[in-house]
């Protein structure tokens, strides 16, 4: 972020999954939201959304596209990230029921269980009360990760039936649902504000 351009460039990791809808939400908020598929594109962003999709596939593609180490390094250096569903799994410190070769960035101190809501609840929708939002947020869960543990430094911003589903630590926010699949941009806006952008102000 420079003085001349106060609004951040929020990239969307676009190797696989629901990246296009994230880009739409961000563009609707007036931020530049380029798709990120290469190290050069990654170098040009101030923050990154890691979308939902399939975390095993994304982990594999990050490795074969030679992006995993660069992205891990940028995240370790403080790159703000918003990880949704598979993106939450990629940000988590500990992943249960993952594939043995699956890798994650360990950015946020949570333990998640892949597909942890079970077969009957493979997909569901619910209205969530979210910290600092006046009205509920309609959330779509699709083979969602189940948050089994949240470290003491994390803020729990929303829960579903007592289980955290939206968690933040510093400039890393993770959701076990898909905020991009509804036309409501409030969680993208919350992420952008959390990284210190004035956004529309
Ligand atoms: N909708 C999603 O992103 C599902 C995540 C998927 N179950 C995984 O393990 O990666």
- Assign residue 61 the CATH number of its domain: 3.40.50.880
For residue 52, being part of any structural domain is answered with: yes
For residue 189, being part of any structural domain is answered with: yes
CA–centroid distance, 201 to ligand 1, in Å, is 35
The Cα 152–Cα 135 span in angstroms is 27
Q: Domain range for residue 59?
A: 10-194
Question: Considering only 6-15, 56-65, 111-120, 131-140, which range has the smallest mean pLDDT?
Answer: 111-120
Q: Residue 121's pLDDT is what?
A: 61
Coil/strand/helix, residue 142 = strand
Would you give the distance in Å from CA 49 to the centre of its chain?
5
Average pLDDT of the residues in 81-110? 97
Contact present, 36 and 49 (Cβ < 8 Å): no
Q: Residue 7's pLDDT is what?
A: 78
The single residue listed with the structure tokens 């598929």 is 37
Q: Residue 5's pLDDT is what?
A: 47
In the predicted structure, residue 2 carries a pLDDT above the cut 60: no
The single residue listed with the structure tokens 């779509």 is 140
Asked whether residue 176 is marked as a ligand-binding residue, the answer is no
Q: Residue 3's pLDDT is what?
A: 47
In the predicted structure, residue 43 carries a pLDDT above the cut 70: yes
DSSP state of 192: H
118: pLDDT confidence band, cut at 50, 70 and 90? Answer: confident
119: pLDDT confidence band, cut at 50, 70 and 90? Answer: low
For residue 64, being part of any structural domain is answered with: yes
For residue 34, being part of any structural domain is answered with: yes
Of residues 22, 60, 180, 189, which has the active-site annotation?
A: 180
For residue 200, being part of any structural domain is answered with: no
Entry pTM: 0.94
Q: Is 180 marked active-site?
A: yes
Percent of the chain with pLDDT over 90: 90
For residue 174, being part of any structural domain is answered with: yes
For residue 3, being part of any structural domain is answered with: no
| Residue nearest ligand 1's atom 3 by CA | 52
Start-to-end Cα distance in the chain: 16
129: Cα within 13 Å, side-chain hemisphere: 3
Q: Rounded to the nearest 10 degrees, how much is the dihedral formed by the CA atoms of 70, 91, 175, 62?
A: 50
Give tens-digit pLDDT for 127-164. Answer: 999 999 999 999 999 999 999 999 999 999 999 999 99
Asked whether residue 40 is marked as a ligand-binding residue, the answer is no
Give the phi and the psi of residue 74 in degrees, each rounded to 5: -65, -40
Q: Which pairs from 120-127 meet CB under 8 Å and 24+ separation?
A: 126/160
Give the phi and the psi of residue 28 in degrees, each rounded to 5: -65, -25
6: pLDDT confidence band, cut at 50, 70 and 90? Answer: low
Numbers of helices and strands, H then E, in the chain: 6, 12
The single residue listed with the structure tokens 């095993």 is 56
The Cα 131–Cα 154 span in angstroms is 13
Q: Residue 100's pLDDT is what?
A: 92
Q: Residue 122's pLDDT is what?
A: 79
Q: Residue 199's pLDDT is what?
A: 60
The total number of structural domains in the chain stands at 1
DSSP state of 59: H
CA–centroid distance, 3 to ligand 1, in Å, is 38
For residue 4, being part of any structural domain is answered with: no
Of 17, 18, 52, 96, best ligand 1 pocket probe by most atoms within 8 Å of the beta carbon: 52
Q: Residue 195's pLDDT is what?
A: 87
């Amino acid at each position: 972020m420079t003085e001349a351009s106060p609004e951040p460039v929020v990239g969307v990791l676009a190797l696989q999954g629901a990246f296009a809808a994230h880009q739409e939400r961000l563009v609707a908020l007036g931020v530049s939201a380029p798709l990120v598929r290469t190290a050069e594109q990654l170098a040009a962003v101030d923050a990154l959304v890691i979308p939902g999709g399939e975390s095993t596939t994304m982990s594999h593609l990050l490795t074969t596209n030679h992006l995993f180490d660069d992205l891990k390094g940028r995240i370790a250096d403080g790159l703000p990230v918003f990880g949704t569903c598979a993106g939450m799994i990629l940000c988590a410190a500990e992943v249960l029921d993952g594939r043995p070769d699956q890798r994650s960035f360990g950015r946020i101190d949570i333990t998640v269980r892949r597909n942890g809501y079970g077969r009957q609840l493979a997909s569901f929708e619910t209205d969530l009360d979210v910290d600092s939002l006046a009205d509920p947020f309609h959330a779509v869960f699709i083979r969602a990760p189940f948050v089994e543990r949240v470290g003491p430094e994390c803020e729990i911003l929303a829960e579903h039936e007592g289980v955290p589903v939206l968690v933040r630590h510093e400039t890393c926010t993770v959701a076990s649902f898909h905020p991009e699949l509804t036309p409501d941009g409030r969680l993208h806006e919350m992420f952008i504000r959390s990284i210190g952008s004035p956004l529309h102000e």
